[in-house]
Each structure stands twice: as C-alpha cells, then as structure tokens.
Amino acid sequence: MEKIRWLDLVVIALYMGAVAYIGLRFSQRQNSTESYFVARRAVPHWAMGISVFATLISSITFIAYPGSAYAGNWAELVPGFMVIGVLALAGLVIIPFFRHAVGMSAYEYFGHRFGYGARAYTALAFTAGHFSKMGFVLYLLALTGSTMTGVNVYWWILLVGLVTVFYTLIGGLEAVIWTDVIQGFVMWLGVLVVLGFLCYLMPGGPAAAFDLAWEAKKFSLGSGKLDFADKTSFWVMSLYGFFWYLQKYGADQTIVQRYLVAKTDRAALKGVALGALLCVPVWTLFMLIGTLVWAYFRLSGEPLPAHVDKPDEVFPYFLATKIPVGLTGLFVAALFAAGMSTLSSDLNCLSAVGVEDYYRRLRPDASDRQRLFVGKLIVGVCGMLAVGIAALIAWKSERVLSLYYAVSSIISGGLAGIFLLAFLSRRANKQGVWIGIIANLVFTTWATLTSGKNKMLDLGAYNFPWAGVMIGVIGHVIVFVVGYAASWLFPPGGKTDWTLWGWLAKRRAATEQTSLTQNKS
C-alpha cells in the first residue's frame, strides 16, 4: 500500500492498549511461581478452554490457511480434525494423569519415568520446536500488518514483540489466559466480519462462488491414495495430525500447563474439550475464506498486481483493497490477537520449563523469589530472540503453511513417541528410551538433509523419498519401536508406577479404600 491507513492504526492501537492494560492489571498478583506459572490453579474451565483455543489458533491460521486453500484444496485442514480424535481417545486419561503427576512442567513426568536426562532432553526438544514457531508467528503478523496498513514490516515485528513481552512478563499466566479470552472473542468477530464482506462482494453471490469452487474440486480433503510422497494425501496429513496432537496433549507444555490451572480434573477436561471444539470451526472458516477469495478473483476477472505473486499474499491484498477502512483494522487486531496469544503462551511456558527443568537442577536451594526473577528474565530474553528470528525470516519467505508443518514435524524430537513409550510400556527403561532417541536423531538428520527441493545433501537414490511432514511421524514411531525393543536388552528399570497401568491400579486401590471407609462409617 502507498498510504498508511490511520483509522486502522487507531483500532489496532486500542487493541494493543487493552492487552497491555490486562498485563498491568494482573502484575501485582505475580508474587510467586505458583501464580506466575499456573495462575494459582483457580482458572474457570470456560476461560481455560478459550485460552486453549486462542493458543492453538495463530497467525499461521489467519494467513497460511487461506493461502493454502487459495492455491490448492482443503487437504491441509485434515490435521486439524485429529485434535478431536486424539482428545476422544486420550483426554479422559491423560488430563487427570498429568494433573496428579507433575507440579508445573510436563517434563517432570519423563524425569519420574526415565531420570533427569530424559527430562532435560524432552524439555529441550519442546524449547527448540517452539522457538521456530514463535519466529514464524511473529513474522506472519508483521507481514500482514505491513501489507494492510503501509507500516514497515520490521516496525510491526518490533511493536508486536514488545507489547507481547510486556504483558506476559509482568502479568504471568493469569494475564496470558485473560488476554486469551478477549483475543478469542476478537478473533471470532474478525473472521465473521471478513466472511460476511466476502459473501456481500462476491459477483453472482455466494452460490456462484460455491458452484465454481465445487467444479474445481477446491473443497477436496486431498488424495485418497496411500502415497507417503504426496504431502496433500489425506492419509499423510491424518498421520501427521494424529501424532502432532498426541504430542500436544501428552508432551507439550503449552497444553499440559492449561490442565494444571483448572480447579478440578473435570473442569480441566471440559476446558480442553471446549478449546478443541472451538478450533475446528475456525480452521474450517479460514479454509472457506481462502476458497472464496479464489472464487472472487475468478468471477470478477480482476487481475492481481505483479507484486502479489505468492498464495499467502492474496488474502492480505484482498483485505487491504476491498474491506472498508476501520474494519480492516478490526481484522488486523484479530490477526494480532491470534498471534500474540500463541506467543505469550509460548513465552510463559518456555519460562516455566527453564525454571522448573533446568534452573531448579542448577540451583536447588534457590528461593521462590529467585526462581520468579529468573522466570521473568527468561520471558524477556526469549521474547527478544523471537523478534530477531522474525526479522531474519522477513528476509526470505515462501509458502508458509507447508513449510511450518515440515519444520515443526522435523524438530519435534520424537516427543509423542517418548510419551507413548513412557506411558504405555512397563518394560521400557532409560537405556531403551535413549537408544530410541538416538535412532530417531540419526534418522531425522538423514531425512532432513536429503529431503525437499533444496537438499543440503543429495544422495541420489538414498535421499528421503517421502513428504517432509512424514519425517516427524516416522521419528515418533522409531522412538517407540526401537526404544521398546532395546529395553529388552537391559534389566527391567524405570518407575512403572508412572505408567498408565500403574496409575490405574493406584486409582482402583484409592477407590476401594474410599468405599471401604464409607461402608465402615
């Protein structure tokens, strides 16, 4: 854009001021790590659920999903369906288990099961994965804000980064969750406003757009063929989504930390279910928006300017040129809400992991006040690093959604496989799990270096032959299978009370004891 849209900037400024105020509002309550990291375990289930929703919906959803649907079909929506499937399979067990197994960090569990080395590794894998995501999220926020307002992309990176770090640092998880609640409503409002204008502006009306998209098979969920080399295959994306959300529910601090803030086990389950149920419609609406934008330019015959040469740029261009001034600012505020909720959650979680999994080990005698200071310091440092990563990404961009899926699956470190091994197998021991981890790292290194169009290492017939998202899927399977098999080479070890079976036995014993006590009384 050639001119800065001042009314849009006013709307965005009001939003920024509101979230900063929430940080200030809760800052006086952050006097302990219990408050800073788990909000005193007293958050209502509905607020926790909206926070889960706001955390899972990021700027990747707002820009890359429409870009993906514009360029192709709805195949990349398929992983999102798995959020419901995994919750239905595992939520009733995993959520109450974690609420009683850990204090503040999800990775305490792996320490209970396999020793501190496994705890440190899983915490590091989480940290590495979320650093990569934070850079992408912040970059997409700034890119769209720049396109739609005329403000330089680097200024947006700096502003959004500083405001997010500010309210997260001073307000702790309470500020993160309650800003998530506001951000969740802003997101829904922004989506519905844009969808309404798209339908209003559509030449021939929405029916013409749906007919054209249906004929072009834009609503397809991908090929039904079991082709692991096809990244748009329904089965490839389903496998990716299943392991991704299994990792989210079972080994991701951003979600496990939400389990811990609820008042009861039942409230935690209701909150997580609400978050999942809110996500799927929003993901679907953004795919629909991308398809309708594609139909609009086909039906109107309006050409795209030469500088809009990537699928991810079409939707921001449409917003900047077709949506009225002021309402565009509302959508940008919704976009920023999505990205900032994810960033703030990541920052607080990275801080919790840094303090609980590393600092406590290095300084076991540190006071709670010292741990709180270190936690705030980590938020500040990680936030500034995310700003730097976003600025580097701004130098070079490409189709973001596919790249994000590939990167996130590669660097996830086999966490879902480690969780399955720890949770389901009594026989698994620390020697076995480390052999599984090493096998996964060897495989991941080979597959990463030899996959994709721009291979870092070309081995010809020995290159990784399948879609990039399959690297993470196979890595999880390798950790589980190799780790389980290798465990038989060593004497039984590990604390089997921390398996699913040991936990169920303890619950049965507790229930029987309660019944016996009640009968005596």
Residue, of 434 and 100, whose pLDDT is higher: 434
Q: What is the mean pLDDT of residues 339-348?
A: 92
Please give the class, per CATH, of domain 6-408: mainly alpha
Q: pLDDT band at residue 396, thresholds of 50, 70 and 90?
A: low
Q: Where are the domains of the chain?
A: 6-408
The residue behind tokens 């330019």 is 297
Decide if pLDDT at 445 tops 50. Answer: yes
Q: Given a cut of 90, is residue 347 above it in pLDDT?
A: yes
Cα 241 to Cα 245: distance, rounded to the nearest angstrom: 6
Phi-psi region of 467 (alpha: psi -120 to 50; beta: other; left: phi over 0): beta
pLDDT score of 1: 43
More confident residue, 326 or 315: 315
> What is the pLDDT, as a whole number, of residue 411?
62
Q: Give me the pLDDT at residue 412, please.
A: 63
Per-residue tokens: 444: 């991941």
**pLDDT higher than 80, residue 431:** yes
Cα(257)–Cα(33) distance, integer angstroms: 13
Residues 277-306: pLDDT tens digits?
999 999 999 999 999 999 999 999 999 998
Torsion 93-95-99-103 (CA) sign: positive
Q: What is the rounded average pLDDT for all residues in the chain?
A: 88
Residue 180 has pLDDT above 80, yes or no: yes
Cα distance between residue 151 and residue 59, in whole Å: 18
Q: What is the pTM of this model?
A: 0.89
Q: How confident is the model at residue 374 (pLDDT cuts 50, 70, 90)?
A: very high
Tokens of 182: 């506001």
